[in-house]
């Protein structure tokens, strides 16, 4: 029963036991850890659609495997999948294997996305306009377009039932999803939850950010004093979450703990953050409150850091204020200079990155940022290196003022 749900007086701790990730670095933990650790940029000229009339021409595209295998789906079914669905399934497959999950009959799924199967929707629309009386394959395109279709394919592939919750809070969707999934475990409403985010590049969305002149026409340089915009990316990341009690009982390796989650709303503008970063401050405050820590205990912040003037200045202000005197000791970077802004997947990919950081004790640099803005009172990481990290925080902010912060804790 979804309501009333169990309500624990003593909250469960939330364990991450599996991670699956797919970005423009490639598929899987190893290749992504290597890419993030080096801070390599993974952009190229867009090949998926025509950008000849756009201001920006580059994005972080993924080369999907030509002949992927997904459990319980036929080649024909896989061929019909929207690009976003395939990304989701590939990431989920890695996480599922990583966690060693088997025979999970009822499994809540909480995912974030901004555009679901938009590429299928675009194909549907083009046929509806150019060939209005031709209906061949239109039902399939429509079905693949719906956001709920991608997690339903997940349920088909891995053979589970359970509530599917799709959070579409713009670029905070992935973090909201991971945070909400963690809440389900913390409160005792679920023992295991599959969570994450996914989004594929699409012409509509690329054109949208280009129309706003939010895309960099040079190089995406988060927090650089000369930054000129973001770069788009695509991808998916999935985390398998379990209660500590259950994970330990089944002998699972616990990769990290989700210690805190905060969410808030910025009412300033539909696309621009309040300049002082009040909502970002609030989401970080709430996450730290739940984690029971103060800012000085956070070793690293994976910033939202899109590379736009407005986001990065508001986030800088928020981090400076929130961290206070501890700010100079906190290391910060944004990975969007490497793999672009993956929108609904971003928060989940950055959550996966935080787990990597805690497991392997390195920091992801942002070498494209050559001259961090003078307002940054924190240490902006530009070169690869190791670091002892106990707590890391990930920020995600989206259109519409959706703000979310997650705090991860090292487990040994």
Partner 1 sequence: MVVAGVGVVSPAGWGIPSFRQVLSGGIPLAASEMLRPGWPKPLRVLRVPPPQKKPEFLSHPRLRRSSPISQFFLAAGLEALGEDVSKVRDGSIKLGIVVATFSGCVNYSRRFYDETLRDPASASPLVFPETVFNAPASHLAAYLGCRAINYTLVGDPGTFLQALAMAAGWIEEKRVDACLVLGAEEMDWLTGDAFRLFSRKVCVSEGAGALYLRPGDGSGVHLKSVTDSFLFNRQTQRTVAAKNMTNALLSQVRDHEGACLWDGCQDVPSLDRAETEAWKSWTGSRFSVKKILGEGLATTSAWQCVAAVDAMAENNGAEALVSVVGCNQQAIGALFAKNSVAEPV
Q: Which sequence positions are flagged as catalytic?
A: 171, 304, 341
Q: Which of residues 264, 306, 359, 405 is near partner 1 by CB under 8 A?
A: 264
Q: Is 156 in the site for partner 1 (CB under 8 A)?
A: yes
Q: Is 405 in the site for partner 1 (CB under 8 A)?
A: no
Q: Which of residues 33, 81, 99, 166 is near partner 1 by CB under 8 A?
A: 166
Rounded CA separation 303/296 (Å): 16
Give the residues across from 379 on adjacent strands.
331
Closest to partner 1 by CB, 287 vs 330, is 287
Q: Is 185 in the site for partner 1 (CB under 8 A)?
A: no
Minimum distance, C-beta of residue 122 to partner 1, in the bound complex (Å) = 7
Size, binding site for partner 1 by CB under 8 A? 75
Using CA atoms, how far residue 306 sits from 208, 221, 345, in Å, is 16, 8, 14
Q: Which of residues 82, 94, 123, 210 is near partner 1 by CB under 8 A?
A: 210
Residues composing the chain:
412
Which residues ranging from 282 to 341 are in contact with partner 1 (CB under 8 A)? Answer: 282
Using CA atoms, how far residue 210 sits from 54, 55, 121, 217, 395, in Å, is 7, 6, 20, 10, 23
Closest to partner 1 by CB, 154 vs 332, is 154
Quickly tell me which residue has 């031709």 as its tokens: 134
Q: Which stretch binds partner 1 (CB under 8 A): 15-23, 33-41, 258-266, 316-324?
A: 258-266
Torsion-angle region of 61 (φ positive above 0: left; ψ -120 to 50: alpha; else: beta): beta
DSSP 265-311: E--S-SSS--TT-HHHHHHHHHHHHHHT--GGG--EEE----S-HHH
Question: Which tokens go with 306?
Answer: 């899109």
Q: Which stretch binds partner 1 (CB under 8 A): 93-101, 267-275, 376-384, 387-395?
A: 267-275
Which residues ranging from 106 to 135 are in contact with partner 1 (CB under 8 A)? Answer: 113-114, 116, 122, 124-126, 128-129, 132-133, 135
Closest to partner 1 by CB, 55 vs 253, is 55
151: DSSP letter: H
Query: For the purposes of burial, counting CB atoms within 10 Å of the CB of 379, is it exposed (0-12), middle (13-18) or buried (19 or more)?
Result: middle
Contact 405, 394 (CB under 8 A): yes
Question: Which tokens go with 411?
Answer: 């487990």
Q: Is 137 in the site for partner 1 (CB under 8 A)?
A: no
Q: Is 174 in the site for partner 1 (CB under 8 A)?
A: no
Q: Which of residues 86, 170, 256, 339 is near partner 1 by CB under 8 A?
A: 170
Q: Is 82 in the site for partner 1 (CB under 8 A)?
A: no
Q: Which of residues 40, 217, 225, 271 is near partner 1 by CB under 8 A?
A: 271
Q: Is 270 in the site for partner 1 (CB under 8 A)?
A: yes
Minimum distance, C-beta of residue 83 to partner 1, in the bound complex (Å) = 16
Question: Which tokens go with 247?
Answer: 């994970």
Which residues ranging from 338 to 377 are in contact with partner 1 (CB under 8 A)? Answer: none
């Amino acid at each position: 029963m979804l309501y009333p749900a169990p309500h624990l007086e003593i909250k469960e701790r939330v364990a991450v036991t599996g991670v699956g990730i797919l970005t423009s670095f490639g598929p899987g933990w190893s290749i992504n850890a290597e890419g993030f650790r080096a801070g390599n940029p993974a952009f190229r000229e867009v090949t998926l659609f025509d950008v000849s009339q756009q201001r920006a021409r580059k994005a972080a595209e993924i080369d999907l495997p030509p002949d992927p295998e997904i459990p319980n789906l036929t080649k024909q079914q896989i061929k019909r999948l929207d690009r976003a669905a395939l990304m989701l399934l590939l990431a989920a497959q890695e996480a599922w294997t990583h966690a060693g999950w088997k025979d999970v009959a009822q499994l809540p799924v909480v995912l974030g996305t901004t555009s679901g199967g938009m590429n299928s929707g675009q194909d549907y629309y083009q046929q509806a306009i150019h060939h209005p009386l031709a209906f061949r394959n239109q039902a399939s395109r429509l079905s693949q377009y719906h956001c709920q279709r991608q997690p339903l394919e997940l349920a088909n592939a891995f053979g589970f039932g359970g509530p599917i919750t799709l959070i579409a809070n713009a670029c905070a969707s992935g973090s909201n999803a991971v945070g909400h999934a963690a809440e389900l475990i913390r409160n005792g409403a679920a023992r295991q939850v599959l969570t994450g985010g996914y989004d594929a590049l699409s012409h509509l969305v690329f054109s949208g950010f280009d129309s706003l002149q939010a895309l960099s026409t040079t190089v995406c340089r988060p927090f650089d004093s000369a930054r000129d915009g973001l770069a788009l990316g695509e991808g998916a990341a999935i985390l398998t979450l379990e209660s500590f009690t259950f994970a330990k009982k089944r002998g699972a390796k616990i990769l990290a703990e989700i210690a805190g989650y905060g969410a808030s709303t910025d009412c300033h503008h539909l696309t621009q953050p309040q300049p002082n970063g009040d909502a970002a401050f609030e989401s970080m405050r709430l996450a730290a409150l739940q984690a029971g820590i103060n800012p000085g205990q956070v070793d690293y912040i994976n910033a939202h850091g899109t590379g736009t003037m407005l986001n990065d200045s508001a986030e800088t202000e928020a981090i400076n204020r929130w961290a206070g005197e501890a700010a100079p000791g906190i290391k910060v970077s944004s990975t969007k200079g490497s793999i672009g802004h993956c929108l609904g997947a971003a928060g989940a990919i950055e959550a996966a990155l935080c787990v990597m950081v805690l497991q392997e004790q390195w920091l992801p640099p942002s070498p494209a940022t050559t001259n961090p803005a003078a307002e940054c009172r924190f240490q902006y990481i530009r070169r690869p290196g190791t670091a002892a990290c106990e707590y890391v925080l990930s920020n995600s902010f989206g259109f519409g003022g959706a703000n979310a912060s997650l705090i991860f804790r090292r487990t040994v």
